[in-house]
Amino acid sequence: MNTILDIRDLHAGYNQAAVLEGISLSVSNGEIVSIVGANGAGKSTLLGAITRLVEVTRGSIHFDGVDITTIAPHRLPAMGLVMVPEGGRLFPFMTVQENLELGYFSRRSRQDAKDRLEEVISLFPVLAERREQLAGHLSGGERQMCAIARAVMSRPKLLMLDEPSVGLSPMMVGKVFELVEALARHEGLSIVLVEQNVEEALELSKRAYVVEHGRIVRSGSSDELRSDPALQAAYMGA
C-alpha cells in the first residue's frame, strides 16, 4: 500500500509555545487512522500543522509523495487534502445544497458538479431529505454529516476529521461513524480521525496513535490498543 501521509519528527506550536514535540506518523492509501488523546494533548494542533495553519518549526510532512511542509495552505484542497474542523463550520444561512456546492471547486464541467452533488447526496440520505433546508436548522449530527459531505464534494484523497463526535449523542456518533466508514469504502478515501471519544474511534479505525503532551506515546492496531488495560483506564472509563 502506498503512503498518502508521512510525517517525520514534527515540531509545531504557537509563537514561542511549543506544542508538538517530534511527532512521526504515517497513513496508507485507503486507510482509516485514529489520533486519540485527552483534551489539550495537541491533536488539533497536529491537524493545524498538517494543513499549514500552525507554524511548523522542525520536521517534514509529505502528502501523496509531495513535501507540503512549507506549501501555502490554500493549495492543499486542490491537491486532495481536506479537513473538517471541529463543529463543521457550515454557513448557517445557506441551504444544505448551497453548502455542498461550495465544497466543489474542481475545474471539470458544470455537469460534473451536478452529478457529483447527486452522488454525494445519495451517500448521505439524511441530507437528501433536507437539501433545501438552512444548514443552521440542522441537528448536531446532521450538521456534522453535511460538513463531511461538503468536504468530499471535490473527491479528496485524504479527509481529516477533527472531533466529529463532539456534542453528539452516542447513537448519533454511531451513525456518523458508520457513514464515515461507508464513505471511505465507497470513495477509496484515506481518513485521519482525531477524537477524544477513544472507544468509538478505535472501533472505526484499523490503526491508531495516542498523543499525550505533544508526543505519540502509543501506536498500533486499533484492536490491540482497545484491549490495552492502561489505555482503557486512561481513556475508556474502565
Among 25, 34, 42, 177, binds ligand ATP (CB under 6 A): 42
Burial of 130 (0-12, 13-18, 19+ CB in 10 A): buried
Among 44, 197, 205, 222, binds ligand ATP (CB under 6 A): 44
How does DSSP assign 145-213, residue by residue? HHHHHHHHTT--SEEEEE-TTTT--HHHHHHHHHHHHHHHHHHT-EEEEEES-HHHHHHH-SEEEEEET
Torsion 220-222-227-231 (CA) sign: positive
Alpha carbon distance 232, 238 (integer Å): 5
Cβ-based nearer residue to ligand ATP, 53 or 123: 53
Among 45, 69, 165, 197, binds ligand ATP (CB under 6 A): 45
Cβ-based nearer residue to ligand ATP, 47 or 179: 47
Residues 10-39 that bind ligand ATP (CB under 6 A): 14, 17, 19, 37, 39
Residues 90-119 that bind ligand ATP (CB under 6 A): none
Cβ-based nearer residue to ligand ATP, 158 or 194: 194
Residue with cell 457529483: 116
Provide the mask over 192-231, with x wherever binding to ligand ATP is found by CB under 6 A and - wherever it is not: ----x-----------------------------------
Query: How many other C-beta atoms lie within 10 A of the C-beta of residue 207?
Result: 20
Dmax over CA atoms of the chain, in Å, equals 53
Least distance to ligand ATP from the beta carbon of 51, Å? 13
Stretch that binds ligand ATP, among 22-30, 41-49, 92-100, 128-136 (CB under 6 A): 41-49
Alpha carbon distance 155, 235 (integer Å): 33
The residues binding ligand ATP (CB under 6 A) are: 14, 17, 19, 37, 39-45, 196
